[in-house]
Amino acid sequence: MPDLAVALNDWLPSQSWFPSGGRSPVRTEVLHIHPFAPVDDTPAARVRGVVAVVRVHHADGAGGGTYQVPLGVRTSLPTGLRPDVIAQRLGVVLYDALGDPELVDALIRRIAARRGVPGLCPQAGLPGPRLPARPLRSRPLGVEQSNTSVLVEDRYLLKVFRRLEPGTNPDLEVQLLLRDAGSRSVPRLLGALTGRLGRSHATLAVLQEYIADAEDGWRSALTDLPEAGGAGREVPPSPGAAHEPGAFATAVRDLGGAVAEIHRELARAGGTAAVTESGTAALAAGMRARFDAATAEVPSLAPHAEPVLAAYAAVAALPVHGLWPDQRIHGDLHLGQVLRTRRGWRIVDFEGEPNAPLDERRSRHSPLKDVAGMLRSFDYAAHHDRPGGAAPAPGGARGGARDAWRVRRQAAFCGGYAAVAGQDPREFGALLTAHLLDKAVYEAVYETRRRPELAAIPLAAVARLAADINRLPAA
């Protein structure tokens, strides 16, 4: 165990899902080791899996937390298996189990057969996947993400949560609600795995249908971008995508409708709470506190304090009559979380903002928070490269066509939302502006920590919104 802790201490910072900020943890402590083996294991089996649950400490406390690392343990690696090795000592190799199809097979079959082991418990009441008798093929998806998703048989996706917090993960909670509501806009939920965490438990993984024929909204949006400085003409989507040229504008409207539909389903399955005056005061206070904390980490936010705080104060002063009630929402909606298929949009990843406290992610919020998340995402896209093309700098001279594109796509999204919800998010100008600012402030911190080269995008949005504070939202 001390050896494992030392080996993980060295290995964790190299993992893309681990928010190290470039620093090594000062100490990694192994909290639990939950062994698992194939369902029909024999004593002679050469391969074992363990789910290690570790607590990571950083000198300044930032980025510390509890993480899950499924490990493979073998005496020798079979030909063709080149996993990410964590340690090799005394004839034993310790490696990242998610790159070993034999161990992924063991986990999936335990979830499917609902056969747990001490410390690991598959979720009852979910249908499970239909598995062939032969060994399962699998590989990590290899996309930029804060967890690790493994593609199984090109049909299923096992999402393994990396950072663990006590209780049911909000991603699973919300997927269960949407399943109860009979939603068609999410991949089918097939199974889940819970593990012991101290005296409590934590969701370790969810298994869902893999949407194979999809293009994510982010890629669709980038393909749709006008040339920097161009007139905003529509261009054909990426090769292999199953959509008509120019259809993205309509698709964005449909996306607005799909998000409104998900909100309606979540309101039905998870209940709603009318907004009260103390509720808007608490919302404004939360936004203010997040802005203050963000300013300490991102000093270039400070010059915007006056208009930003005025926008939040306006929320506290709003008449509450007629505001949309609070409810469970997505919580971190952006173009990378929506999959465009021939059968319409599918929405994924209901875990909420990774930096936000768990209680906040589990609470009810205004649906406008999700709307603001998606509107911000069109702004992000507008500052990126078209596949094979050039991106304009935030506020740069070539950004005019991109600004026009952003405004059109944001309007299409709101229009599609309004058609299903019966009321347009843009009618809640002051509240929507405050949510846009709150999101951009969150993003400024997120990017400063993880992708500093992108921090200029949310910072420019805060500046634009701050300058525009008395007009309707345009970020």
Ligand X SMILES: O=P(O)(O)O[C@H]1O[C@H](CO)[C@@H](O[C@H]2O[C@H](CO)[C@@H](O)[C@H](O)[C@H]2O)[C@H](O)[C@H]1O
Ligand Y SMILES: Nc1ncnc2c1ncn2[C@@H]1O[C@H](COP(=O)(O)OP(=O)(O)O)[C@@H](O)[C@H]1O
Binding site for ligand X (CB under 6 A): 145-146, 218, 332, 334-336, 349, 353-354, 376-377, 380, 443, 446
- CA distance readout (Å), 284 to 49, 73, 288, 314, 381: 47, 51, 6, 8, 28
Among 181, 267, 348, 414, binds ligand Y (CB under 6 A): 348
Instruction: Output 107 or 150, the one with its CB closest to ligand Y.
Output: 150
Instruction: Output 161 or 446, the one with its CB closest to ligand X.
Output: 446
Among 11, 95, 210, 442, binds ligand Y (CB under 6 A): 210
Does 108 participate in binding ligand Y (rule CB under 6 A)? no
284 binds, among ligand X, ligand Y, none (CB under 5 to 8 A by kind): none
Widest distance between CA atoms in the chain? 72
128 binds, among ligand X, ligand Y, none (CB under 5 to 8 A by kind): none
Instruction: Output 4 or 251, the one with its CB closest to ligand X.
Output: 251
Does 170 participate in binding ligand Y (rule CB under 6 A)? no
Least separation, in Å, of the C-beta of 372 and ligand X?
A: 10
Among 30, 73, 117, 146, binds ligand Y (CB under 6 A): 146
446 binds, among ligand Y, ligand X, none (CB under 5 to 8 A by kind): ligand X
- Region from 3-11, 19-27, 233-241, 333-341 binding ligand Y, contact rule CB under 6 A: 333-341
For 109-157, give the secondary structure using H, E and C.
Answer: HHHHHCCCECCEEECCCCCCCCCCCCCCCEEECCCCCCCEEEEECCCEE
Does 160 participate in binding ligand Y (rule CB under 6 A)? no
Nearest Cα to 370, choosing from 339, 331, 335, 338?
331
Instruction: Output 24 or 146, the one with its CB closest to ligand Y.
Output: 146
Tokens of 469: 């504070």
Among 12, 103, 108, 214, binds ligand Y (CB under 6 A): 214
335 binds, among ligand Y, ligand X, none (CB under 5 to 8 A by kind): ligand X
Does 19 participate in binding ligand Y (rule CB under 6 A)? no
How far apart CA 220 and CA 457 sit, in angstroms, is: 20
**Burial label, 200 (beta-carbon count in 10 A; 0-12, 13-18, 19+):** exposed
Does 147 participate in binding ligand Y (rule CB under 6 A)? yes
For 271: left if phi > 0, alpha if psi spans -120 to 50, otherwise beta; the answer is: left
How far apart CA 47 and CA 44 sit, in angstroms, is: 9
How far apart CA 286 and CA 457 sit, in angstroms, is: 23
272 binds, among ligand X, ligand Y, none (CB under 5 to 8 A by kind): none
- Region from 60-68, 175-183, 315-323, 334-342 binding ligand Y, contact rule CB under 6 A: 334-342
Beta strands 272-273; 326-327: pairing state: antiparallel
Question: What phi and psi, each to the nearest 5 degrees, are found at residue 457?
Answer: -70, -55
353 binds, among ligand Y, ligand X, none (CB under 5 to 8 A by kind): ligand X
Does 28 participate in binding ligand Y (rule CB under 6 A)? no
- Region from 137-145, 172-180, 321-329, 360-368 binding ligand Y, contact rule CB under 6 A: 137-145
How far apart CA 173 and CA 187 sit, in angstroms, is: 14
Least separation, in Å, of the C-beta of 16 and ligand X?
A: 11
Instruction: Output 70 or 392, the one with its CB closest to ligand Y.
Output: 70
DSSP three-state, residue 76: coil
Question: What phi and psi, each to the nearest 5 degrees, are found at residue 50?
Answer: -135, 145
Give the number of other Cβ atoms within 10 Å of residue 278's Cβ.
Answer: 10
How far apart CA 161 and CA 141 sit, in angstroms, is: 14
Does 211 participate in binding ligand Y (rule CB under 6 A)? yes
Contact footprint for ligand Y (CB under 6 A): 141, 143, 145-147, 149, 157, 159, 187, 208-211, 214, 216, 336-337, 339, 348-349, 351
